[in-house]
Amino acid sequence: MHSIRRPGIDRRSLLAGSASLVAAAAFPRSSRSGTAPVREFALVAAPSRVSLVGPPYPDTDVWSYNAGIPGSEIRVRQGERLRILVENQLSQATTVHWHGVRAPNAMDGVPFLTQKPIAPGEKFVYEFEVPDAGTYWYHPHHHSSEQVGRGLSGALIVEEIEPPAVDRDVVWVLGDWRLARDASIVSDFGNRMEVTMAGRIGNTVTINGRVSETISVRAGERLRVRLVNAAPARIFGLEFRDLRPLIIGLDGQPVEPREPPEGRVVLGPATRADVLLDMSGKPGATAAVLDTFYRDLSYKLVDLAYSSEPPVRAGSLDPPARLRANTMPEPDLGHAEKYTATLEGGMMSGRGMMMGMGGHGMGWSINGVAASGHDMAPMITLSRGRSCVLAIRNETAWFHPIHLHGHSFRVIARNGQPTRDREWLDTVLVPPREGADIAFVADNPGDWMFHCHILDHQDGGMMAVIRVA
Ligand code: C2O
Ligand code: CU
C-alpha cells in the first residue's frame, strides 16, 4: 500500500562517530539580558554542496544551515535565553521554526501567521527562553516540503540542569532523500500523486547527513542517543538487535524508562526519542540497527561496531532514573473544553487500486477545511489558561503525525482507550482510521499552527490554527 522504494543507493563507511559530526560550527557567545544568560548563535540558510552518499558518488547540492547537513547543532541549558540571528541566502523566502519549544508566539517562525517571511538577503533575529529540557529541532516553515527536503534542519538540544550520567550523549538526525543515480536531489517536490498519498518518501536514508555503514562504539559504554526524525515524510521503526534500548524521553519530555513496545522505536516525521543504549556486546562485535517500519521494506540502517578496546567498565550499570519532569501545567480533565479534529482526504486504496480523492480540492482537510496557509481563521479559540481535550480522528487511509505548536500535550487515549503512560508529546502519530485524544493547558497566548508533519500533507491543506486568546 505504501509505494516506496528501498533506501540506500549505496552504503559506505562513516569514519567518524556521530558525536564528532555533531560538534559542528555553531558559535555560541554569551552575554546577559535580564536574569537568564543569553546564548547567541548564527544560522545562515544557503545553498551548499555536501557528500551525502560518499565516494565514488559526487557531492550533492543541498540547502543547508551553516553549510552543514544537518545544520549546526544548537545546544543550550534549560532556562537559558537564545538569540539566533538567521540570515537568508536562499533564492526564496524562509522562516525558522523551533519545533517543540514552547516559545512566545512571535518567535514561532510561521510565515504570515507569526512573522513576515524572511526574504532572500534579509535577516531575522529570534530570541526566546527554553523553559524545558529535551531534544528538539529546527527547520523552515515556508515551502516546508521543498526546504526541508533539500536539507534545511538541525538539532536543538536543551540539556537538563542535572543531566543523567552517560558515557556519551549523541544526536542522530535521521534524514531521507530522493536522489538520482548521480546523488543529486530529484526535484519533483509537491507532485500531486505523492501529496495525496504517503508524501515524499525518499530512497536514501542518512544519519547526521551521511549514508552510514558503521558507527563506532565501545564495549560497556552507556550511550544516550537522541533520535530526531527530520524526514519530510518517512516514518522510522528502529530495532536495535542484540541490545535492550530504553526510551527515556519522547519529543523531549521524560517518560518512565522502558523498552519500546514490540522492541521497535517508532518515529513519525518530526518526532524525537531519547534512547539509552548499554553497549553490552564484546570488543570487535557489531550490533545491527534495522528500520522495519514499512512491511516488506526493512533495511539495515547502520551497524554499531564495537572497537577492539577493552570494555569501559566491568559489569552492568544500574537502570537509569526517570528524568526530572519539565514545566508543563497539568490539564484539568474534569473542566476541559472538548473539541474534535477530523482528518480527511487523500487517496483511498482498495485492493491495490486507487479509488479517487477526498472531497477537497487541495487533497487534505481538518474538520472539512483545507487550509492554504494564508489568512487562516482559527479552527478553535481557547481562553488562556483553559484546559482542552482534542479528539483527533483520522478518517483517512494514511498515517498522520499531527503537531501542535507552542504547547506540549498529553496523549490521554488512543481509539477511546486510556494510554498507559499519558506521555507528553508535541507531535502524535495517528495511524489510518484511528484516533488519539490529546490534552493540554492553553497557557501560551497567540495563534498556533496545528498540522500534519508529513510536509506534503501540510502543503496539501492539512493544517489549522488554534488560537489562545
Ligand atoms: Cu516542525 Cu509546524 O512544524
Ligand atoms: Cu498527514
Q: Is 99 in the pocket of ligand 1 (CB under 6 A)?
A: yes
What sections of 76-226 are H helices per DSSP? 144-149, 192-195
Question: Considering the entire predicted model, what is its pTM?
Answer: 0.91
d(C-alpha 210, C-alpha 237), whole Å: 19
Expressed in angstroms and rounded, the spacing between residue 109 Cα and the centre of ligand 1 is 9
Q: What is the pLDDT along the chain (469 residues), one digit of tens a residue?
A: 333 333 443 333 222 233 333 333 344 455 555 567 899 999 999 999 999 999 999 999 999 999 999 999 999 999 999 999 999 999 999 999 999 999 999 999 999 999 999 999 999 999 999 999 999 999 999 999 999 999 999 999 999 999 999 999 999 999 999 999 999 999 999 888 888 899 999 999 999 999 989 999 999 999 999 999 999 999 999 999 999 999 999 999 999 999 999 999 999 999 999 999 999 999 999 999 999 999 889 999 999 999 999 999 988 899 999 999 999 999 999 999 999 999 999 987 543 334 444 444 458 999 999 998 888 899 999 999 999 999 999 999 999 999 999 999 999 999 999 999 999 999 999 999 999 999 999 999 999 999 999 999 999 999 999 999 9
Nearest-ligand number for the alpha carbon of 100: 1
Expressed in angstroms and rounded, the spacing between residue 216 Cα and the centre of ligand 1 is 32
d(C-alpha 248, C-alpha 226), whole Å: 10
Expressed in angstroms and rounded, the spacing between residue 99 Cα and the centre of ligand 1 is 6
User: Can you tell me which atom of ligand 1 is nearest the CA of 449?
Assistant: 2
Residue 35's contacts (CB-CB under 8 Å, 6 or more residues apart) are none
Q: Is 142 in the pocket of ligand 1 (CB under 6 A)?
A: no
Nearest-ligand number for the alpha carbon of 271: 1
Q: What is the pLDDT of residue 315?
A: 86
d(C-alpha 286, C-alpha 177), whole Å: 26
Q: What is the pLDDT of residue 30?
A: 54
Contact by Cβ (8 Å): 379, 466 = yes
Omega cis (within 30) before 70? yes
d(C-alpha 222, C-alpha 225), whole Å: 10
Expressed in angstroms and rounded, the spacing between residue 409 Cα and the centre of ligand 1 is 15
Q: Is 141 in the pocket of ligand 1 (CB under 6 A)?
A: yes
Contact by Cβ (8 Å): 88, 97 = no
Nearest-ligand number for the alpha carbon of 392: 2
CA nearest to 247, candidates 271, 265, 268: 265
d(C-alpha 166, C-alpha 312), whole Å: 12
Q: What is the pLDDT of residue 6?
A: 39
Nearest-ligand number for the alpha carbon of 394: 2
Q: Is 451 in the pocket of ligand 1 (CB under 6 A)?
A: yes
Q: What is the mean pLDDT of the chain?
A: 90
Q: What is the pLDDT of residue 375?
A: 83
User: Can you tell me which atom of ligand 1 is nearest the CA of 270?
Assistant: 1
Supply the DSSP string of 124-159, one letter for each residue.
Answer: EEEEEE--S-EEEEEE--SSHHHHHHTT--EEEEEE
Residue 375's contacts (CB-CB under 8 Å, 6 or more residues apart) are 112
Q: What is the pLDDT of residue 349?
A: 52
Q: What is the pLDDT of residue 35?
A: 67
Q: Is 403 in the pocket of ligand 1 (CB under 6 A)?
A: yes
Q: Is 457 in the pocket of ligand 1 (CB under 6 A)?
A: no
Q: How many helices (H) and strands (E) does the chain have?
A: 4, 34
User: Can you tell me which atom of ligand 1 is nearest the CA of 110?
Assistant: 2
Q: What is the pLDDT of residue 245?
A: 97
Q: What is the pLDDT of residue 19?
A: 32
User: Can you tell me which atom of ligand 1 is nearest the CA of 99?
Assistant: 1
d(C-alpha 396, C-alpha 342), whole Å: 9
Q: What is the pLDDT of residue 351?
A: 38
Q: What is the pLDDT of residue 316?
A: 86
Q: Which residues pair with 466 in a beta bridge?
A: 380, 448
- List the residue whose alpha carbon is closest to atom 1 of ligand 1: 99
Expressed in angstroms and rounded, the spacing between residue 181 Cα and the centre of ligand 1 is 31
Nearest-ligand number for the alpha carbon of 448: 1
User: Can you tell me which atom of ligand 1 is nearest the CA of 463?
Assistant: 2
User: Can you tell me which atom of ligand 1 is nearest the CA of 405?
Assistant: 2
Expressed in angstroms and rounded, the spacing between residue 438 Cα and the centre of ligand 2 is 17
C-alpha count within 13 angstroms, C-beta hemisphere, residue 316: 11
Omega cis (within 30) before 56? yes
Supply the DSSP string of 4-48, one letter for each residue.
Answer: -PPP-S------S-HHHHHS-S---EEEESSSSEEEEEEEEEEEE
Expressed in angstroms and rounded, the spacing between residue 177 Cα and the centre of ligand 2 is 18
Expressed in angstroms and rounded, the spacing between residue 449 Cα and the centre of ligand 2 is 14
Q: Is 405 in the pocket of ligand 1 (CB under 6 A)?
A: yes
Question: Which parts of 230-285 are beta strand (E)?
Answer: 236-240, 246-250, 253-258, 265-267, 272-278
- List the residue whose alpha carbon is closest to atom 3 of ligand 1: 99
